[in-house]
């Protein structure tokens, strides 16, 4: 089986052109087939405010009414995706911007309106791995924004970590997959106050212990949940890192 590298970068990194470029260069230098997945929430909030609309987030998740759906579609699938693709092609990568509605690659269900109505938010139902594999076989590097659709023409806003995890998992059938989820933190810390306490390898039992001890909280929990789900579903390696620990191989590696 050929190896595949799936890298997810988030909104924080996109705010820093210099750091972002370091990561893109690292990504380009990585040999073999690869996929980039990106967020862009900060840019979306900024556009929303310029248009006179206050973004509404619940636990860090965007409530996506029709106007906010336009905003995230324009920012994620338009501005951010196109800029990343243009930069990657300039670096010699044969990059192609993708979102879930392209080739029907990701189909979602609109999230039920109870208990919380998040609006046009999608939960992933199916990933068409063979359509992605066809592109990879042409030497193409897909660059995914986290816009998806319900297969009936309705666009949906989807969490980018979840897209990266689902895409990585769908490709384990014919690839050995390494997934790196970049965040604002260097990795998982045993003690949040001590940046030296980075855990090199975190297995599921230790994760549950850390969670119970209160050392893990907030936005990191759904990310780790995604990461362990990927490990359980056949992804070989899941890396939790920021741009620096990724490039220097000093990140946290999740294991069974």
Closer residue to a second copy in complex, CB, 53/255: 53
Q: Which residues contact 64 (CB under 8 A, 6 or more apart)?
A: 72, 118, 119, 120, 121, 156, 157
Q: How far is the CB of 85 from a second copy (least distance, A)?
A: 5
Closer residue to a second copy in complex, CB, 29/86: 86
Dihedral sign for Cα 16, 77, 64, 123, please: negative
Closer residue to a second copy in complex, CB, 95/254: 95
Q: How far is the CB of 48 from a second copy (least distance, A)?
A: 11
* Whole-number Å distance between alpha carbons of 215 and 217: 7
Closer residue to a second copy in complex, CB, 74/192: 74
Q: How far is the CB of 164 from a second copy (least distance, A)?
A: 19
Q: How far is the CB of 133 from a second copy (least distance, A)?
A: 11
* Whole-number Å distance between alpha carbons of 70 and 50: 14
Angle at 111 between CA 109 and CA 113, to 5 degrees: 140
Number of other residues whose CB lies within 10 A of the CB of residue 189 = 19
Residues that bind a second copy (CB under 8 A): 47, 50-52, 70, 73-79, 81-83, 85-87, 89-90, 94-99, 101-104, 134, 138, 140, 147, 149, 151-155
């Amino acid at each position: 089986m050929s190896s595949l590298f799936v890298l997810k970068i988030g909104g924080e990194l996109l705010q820093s052109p210099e750091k972002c470029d370091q990561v893109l260069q690292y990504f380009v230098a990585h040999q073999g087939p690869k996929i980039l997945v990106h967020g862009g929430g900060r840019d979306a909030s900024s556009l929303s405010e310029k248009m006179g609309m206050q973004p509404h987030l619940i636990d860090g998740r965007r409530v996506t009414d029709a106007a906010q759906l336009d905003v995230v579609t324009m920012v994620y699938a338009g501005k951010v995706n196109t800029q990343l693709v243009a930069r990657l092609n300039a670096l010699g990568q044969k990059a192609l911007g993708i979102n879930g509605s392209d080739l029907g690659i990701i189909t979602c269900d609109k999230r039920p309106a109870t208990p919380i109505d998040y609006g046009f938010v999608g939960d992933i139902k199916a990933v068409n791995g063979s359509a992605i594999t066809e592109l990879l076989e042409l030497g193409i590097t897909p660059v995914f924004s986290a816009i998806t659709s319900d297969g009936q023409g309705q666009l949906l806003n989807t969490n980018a970590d979840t897209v990266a995890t689902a895409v990585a998992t769908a490709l384990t059938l014919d690839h050995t997959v390494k997934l790196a989820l970049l965040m604002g933190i260097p990795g998982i810390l045993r003690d949040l106050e001590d940046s030296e306490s980075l855990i090199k390898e975190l297995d599921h039992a230790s994760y549950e212990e850390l969670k119970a001890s209160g050392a893990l909280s907030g936005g990191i929990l759904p990310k780790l949940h995604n990461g362990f789900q990927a490990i359980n579903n056949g992804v070989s390696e899941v890396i939790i890192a920021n741009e620096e620990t990724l490039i220097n191989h000093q990140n946290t590696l999740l294991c069974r």
